[in-house]
Structure 1
């Protein structure tokens, strides 16, 4: 499909297929707002659950944007299986060109896929390598509505707030117990604690099965890391961290009942924030909300704010075509 503008720029797109993998991943790495979650070895781990409809968009035969997404009925999601999945942009793209990207994509989705609505999970600004919020302005111009806001708790690592008194007391307790932080690949022992916590509190399973997180770690060994907090050979808790260029994001957190009593997570996060990831721009604890932000887990938020984290938004927009 192709369209021309008054400036004689020719726009066209192709729908993603496996032959485009190398080109897709190369663009994600050099885009101004892409992360490894938008590379195909991450996106496709659950390809059997979603009807992929990702788009590559060209201006004068040059790849200028990617639109990761999937179809569900007459709706296009960007992306239903990911925390975020907005349009990925070339560093040099302008606002007008970004608007042409949107219009080219939306015209295709309407004409070729019979899409009647778009659900758009915007990439939070802390993950941008270069300012990239053209999409939010264009969505507003097109009449999109903000349908969900989830609070995530983030620390700017070059200007941290100190730990609250309670967290400092727990940190002191963990040090007295001689606990140790270990970075390794023993996902099995951590996953047992994680599953027990989620079943007990929410009657749910982790988003990723143990087999899936192991496969993703093999695909992205430098970006996906496991940290366990241990008392000699016993795992008391830990977390899985997703590392991008700008952010260390905590994907999973869990501690056993014994680990909670002796401040295991306080020692773990002190080490991650002040040592392991101190050179990153942000440390993101992840969201503390459910049901599109309507339900706030106040206890979880209190813990994260105790480490000095404060709120940013994970936003979702809906556009009727």
Structure 2
């Protein structure tokens, strides 16, 4: 997390039983509140098995009160990422006097079920086979970031990617096999790209964007379907397309983006955020 350490007051914790490390809480401090680290998409409390969650939370509460921290805001993992231990934590959070103050919609394909890609998308996918698209796994992010992603986000949403080009390049150098960049070309011209984070049994499309020419050619849709088939063949459990939450919409999420992801075969999963008053 140190690539964006200047943006947060880190207060990550390690929990020990004697000399044994039994828990981790990536976290940052803001005012009088400790947050599940706001620089991470997911996070929460990670524990070894066979330890009392109640005892750990009591110890955690006592420790935070020493620093005059009044609130703990902690998130659960979406179901697609949960292990038996993280489910124990989620169940505990639901059972104590916590407040559920926010929920994210996370969209993902469950490969244990038949693929459910919309028939219109499959029709265009089959037609586009003859166009001569070329898909490349790239070692550099520069073309996608500078020629597709940054201009697209700027023109459509007046925003920038969460990761700068330097940051994603640094992350790639540290996680060579876990971060992949796939670009799609037509006659040598880049049309779209998808940045994949490989999390073991889950792969996540961290970024997906197209330029105007690619949009006209339905290139991003074609690339998504190719990658959906690829990771199914490789035996992954889920293909996550991330969240669709957006406060700019009355519904609290991007309706059009959610529809697009559902038409690519995604189901909706929930990630809950809990607030615990410590004092």
TM-score under structure 2 normalisation? 0.93
Task: Give runs of aligned pairs for residues 213-228 of structure 1, distance below 5 A.
Answer: 213-228=168-183
- Is the contact made by 1:173 and 1:263 (CA closer than 8 Å) also made in structure 2? no
Question: Cα offset for 1:170?
Answer: 2.4
- Is the contact made by 1:67 and 1:78 (CA closer than 8 Å) also made in structure 2? yes
CA separation in 2, counterparts of 1:277 and 1:229? Answer: 20
Task: Give runs of aligned pairs for residues 171-182 of structure 1, distance below 5 A.
Answer: 171-182=125-136
Aligned to 2:207: 252
**Match among 261, 275, 278 for residue 318 of structure 1:** 275
CA separation in 2, counterparts of 1:136 and 1:204? Answer: 33
Aligned to 1:283: 239
Aligned to 1:77: 35
Q: Secondary structure at the match of 2:86?
A: coil
Judged with a 3 Å threshold, the aligned counterparts in structure 2 of structure 1 residues 284 and 149 are, in CA distance, closer, same or farther, namely same
Q: Secondary structure at the match of 1:311?
A: strand
CA separation in 1, counterparts of 2:64 and 2:85? Answer: 27
Task: Give runs of aligned pairs for residues 124-139 of structure 1, distance below 5 A.
Answer: 124-130=78-84, 132-139=86-93
Question: Cα offset for 1:168?
Answer: 1.3
CA separation in 1, counterparts of 2:224 and 2:242? Answer: 13
Q: Say whether 1:242 aligns with 2:197.
A: yes
CA separation in 1, counterparts of 2:62 and 2:128? Answer: 57
Unaligned runs of 5+ in 1: 1-42
Q: Secondary structure at the match of 2:107?
A: strand
Q: Secondary structure at the match of 1:132?
A: helix
**Match among 247, 263, 267 for residue 306 of structure 1:** 263
Q: How many residues align?
A: 275
Task: Give runs of aligned pairs for residues 162-241 of structure 1, distance below 5 A.
Answer: 162-192=116-146, 193-241=148-196
Q: Secondary structure at the match of 1:133?
A: helix
TM-score under structure 1 normalisation? 0.81
CA separation in 2, counterparts of 1:109 and 1:291? Answer: 31
Q: Which runs of 4+ in 1 moved over 3 A?
A: 291-294
CA separation in 2, counterparts of 1:234 and 1:76? Answer: 47
- Is the contact made by 2:47 and 2:85 (CA closer than 8 Å) also made in structure 1? no
Of structures 1 and 2, the one with the larger relative CO (CA 8 A, separation 6+) is: 2
Q: Secondary structure at the match of 2:114?
A: coil
Q: Deviations over 1:95-123 (max 9, x none)?
A: xx122222211210111x21011111222
CA separation in 2, counterparts of 1:102 and 1:309? Answer: 35
Q: Deviations over 1:251-274 (max 9, x none)?
A: 111011111121212221222111
Question: Cα offset for 1:300?
Answer: 0.8
Question: Cα offset for 1:130?
Answer: 3.9
**Match among 111, 118, 123 for residue 72 of structure 2:** 118
Q: CA RMSD in A?
A: 1.8
- Is the contact made by 2:79 and 2:270 (CA closer than 8 Å) also made in structure 1? no
Aligned to 1:27: none
Q: Deviations over 1:31-62 (max 9, x none)?
A: xxxxxxxxxxxx22111111111111112332
Question: Cα offset for 1:209?
Answer: 0.6
